Amino acid sequence: MERLDLKYKRHVFVCINERDEGESCGKKEGHDILRILREHVNSNGLVGVFNITKTKCLGHCNFGPTLAIYPEGIIYRKVTLEDTKEIIEKYLTI
């Protein structure tokens, strides 16, 4: 076993789950939201400061796309592409 002590300022989990039936984050804008947040971190030299991780179900499929932000433990539901600007300004800047 290998342990890494990574001290991210913030870790954002973006749901991209795609259910066969019903609503899901991946069927809405989950993939695009993930891409935009990752592009921001990568293009601004923030790798190692912030981590953006794709994930499966966060338990809010009918209200997706959904993000979980840590260490705050905040869940955002019904996130749109337009909301990514606010997420970046509020949580992904130094």
What domains are there in the chain, each with its CATH number? 10-91 (3.40.30.10)
Complete edge-to-edge strand list for the sheet that includes strand 74-76:
50-55, 10-15, 67-70, 74-76
Q: How far apart are CA 6 and CA 81, in angstroms?
A: 29
Does the structure show a pLDDT above 80 at 85? yes
pLDDT at 22 exceeding the cut of 80: no
Is residue 65 within 8 Å of residue 15, measured between CB atoms?
Answer: yes
More confident residue, 62 or 38: 38
What is the pLDDT averaged over residues 57-67?
87
| CB 62 within 8 Å of CB 23 | yes
Structure confidence at residue 64 (pLDDT): 78
Residue 31 has pLDDT above 90, yes or no: yes
> How far is Cα 36 from Cα 43, in angstroms, rounded to an integer?
10
Please report the pLDDT score of residue 18 as a whole number. Answer: 87
Q: What is the biggest distance separating any 2 CA atoms in the chain, rounded to whole angstroms?
A: 41
Position 55 pLDDT exceeds 90: yes
